[in-house]
Amino acid sequence: MSYDFNIDEILAMAEKIEENGAAFYRKAATGVSGSSNRDLLLGLADMEDQHRNTFTDLRAKISENEKVPTAFDPNNESALYLNALADIRVFFKKEIDVTSMKEILKEAIVAEKDSIVFYIGMKDLVSEKLGKDKIDTIIKEEMSHIKILGNKLKEVKG
């Protein structure tokens, strides 16, 4: 079964992925030692919250034409499908050493890379008239996360 999506649905998924990212960083902050590491992780959680707000704002500005459903979906199953994808594809729950700042940052970079690959794949499922061009905005946000995380990883000792 093939699904096609509109940008409203993709942005809803992006919001969920950012929420998952913020939860990941907040959970990691509870296990890491050192106030500077904890502050860094809480700052990254706040950054995820800000990016979620960016996507929420972008979503509020899309046209009604970009919200047109792509399939008959009386039970709102496409939204359930997208939420499930967001929950398992990026920042999904896995066992990591939350006492190691290096491991936390490495896992975060992997999650951000996974999100970029995911959104690149999703571009093929959104038509031009349903907001395909806006997916690049999401990808750029995720790329900025990798840059920040990479720089922080370089600073971490051990």
- Degrees, nearest 5: CA angle 49-18-65: 105
Q: 3-state DSSP call for residue 5?
A: strand
Q: Are 99 and 119 in contact (CB under 8 A)?
A: no
Crossing angle between the packed helical segments 101-123 and 35-61, to the nearest 10 degrees = 10
pLDDT per residue over 32-79, tens digit each? 888 989 999 999 999 999 989 998 998 898 888 777 766 666 676 766
148/144 Cα distance (integer angstroms)? 6
Helix (H) or strand (E) holding 64: none
Global confidence as pTM: 0.80
CATH number for domain 7-155, candidates 3.20.20.70, 1.10.3720.10, 1.20.1260.10, 3.40.710.10: 1.20.1260.10
User: Identity (one letter) of the amino acid at 86?
Assistant: A
